Amino acid sequence: MKLPEDLFNEKEKGLLEKAKIEIDFNKDYSLDEIGELEIKLKDACLDYGFTNCIPNVSCKAWEKICDNFIDVTDKLQAVQDWLIRKEMKSGVERTIILDEKGKIMQIRKGTAENVSFDDSVSKKIFDTAKPRSLDVFHNHPSNSSLSYDDLEFMLFTRAVRSVSAVTKLGKRYTMSIPLKNRTLVGEFRKAWEKSYDNDLNKMLKKLARMLKWKYTAK
């Protein structure tokens, strides 16, 4: 699909220039390329301190374009590839939050160990989203699967339905929790201890069975 030439306002064009992102309005972009472009734009907002990431919510043309991601398979691959590339350059964790239609709600940059969500924007996203509607993706520089903290965050944060860890080896580990699942914190902690295994992948499979969650490793 071709992007309309009036897609960006003057402020947004200035950010594109700063971030050295070139848009070819004569090009016929594939859905995968659109997904890649959206991530680049959101990341540029993070790097240059813009509070309203472009394309912003008033940009109806962009919203219409992104509606093509109702089937988010292409978007998920774009997210995974981007996280791997960024890690190879910086070695720190980054997080991308998607809503249930695959729209990017936020990108966060952290340290080599974690990403914090203690800012007002993150809190608003989690507080206003529907229960179990957000998918949280982040990279693991250690190349490991999901951690205890990852799963506890998913359980505590009612808006989150899944958390995924991506490694530079190309693996994506995902744990999801069904909408009607009512696992208590105490139950989770006991199941974590009971399912302990030196092989983290096997351990997470056991944990998912015990709590009736879903775990995948691709």
- Tell me, yes or no, whether 81 and 147 share the same domain: yes
The answer to whether 39 and 78 have CB atoms below 8 angstroms apart is: yes
If one counts every other C-beta atom within 10 angstroms of the C-beta of residue 149, the result is: 11
- Tell me, yes or no, whether 114 and 46 share the same domain: no
Instruction: Report the candidate in 19, 24, 32 with the shortest Cα–Cα distance to residue 7.
Output: 24
- Tell me, yes or no, whether 151 and 100 share the same domain: yes
- Tell me, yes or no, whether 87 and 181 share the same domain: yes
Choosing from 16, 48, 70, the residue where a domain stops is 70
Q: Which of 7-16, 172-181, 201-210 has the lowest mean pLDDT?
A: 7-16
Rounded mean pLDDT of 178-197? 95
- Tell me, yes or no, whether 19 and 76 share the same domain: no
Cα separations in angstroms, 143 against 78, 115, 147, 162, 168? 19, 16, 11, 19, 7
Residues listed for the chain: 218
Check pLDDT > 90 for residue 180.
yes
Choosing from 70, 104, 123, the residue where a domain stops is 70
Torsion of CA 12, 14, 17, 23, to 10 degrees: 30
Choosing from 55, 70, 85, the residue where a domain stops is 70
What pLDDT is recorded for position 54? 46
Instruction: Report the candidate in 128, 134, 126, 105 with the shortest Cα–Cα distance to residue 46.
Output: 105
Rounded mean pLDDT of 153-177? 94
- Tell me, yes or no, whether 5 and 82 share the same domain: no
The whole domain housing 184 covers: 71-217
- Tell me, yes or no, whether 140 and 105 share the same domain: yes
- Tell me, yes or no, whether 102 and 177 share the same domain: yes
- Tell me, yes or no, whether 60 and 76 share the same domain: no
- Tell me, yes or no, whether 98 and 13 share the same domain: no
Q: Which two tokens stand for residue 94?
A: 């980054």
| Highest-pLDDT range among 26-35, 81-90, 134-143, 146-155 | 146-155
Dump strand ranges (E) for the chain. 94-98, 104-109, 134-139, 160-166, 172-176, 214-217
Q: Do strands 104-109 and 94-98 pair parallel, antiparallel, or not at all (unpaired)? A: antiparallel
- Tell me, yes or no, whether 98 and 35 share the same domain: no
Q: What is the CATH number of the domain that holds 121?
A: 3.40.140
Please give the tally of structural domains in the chain. Answer: 2
pLDDT class for 37, splitting at 50, 70, 90? confident
- Tell me, yes or no, whether 61 and 45 share the same domain: yes
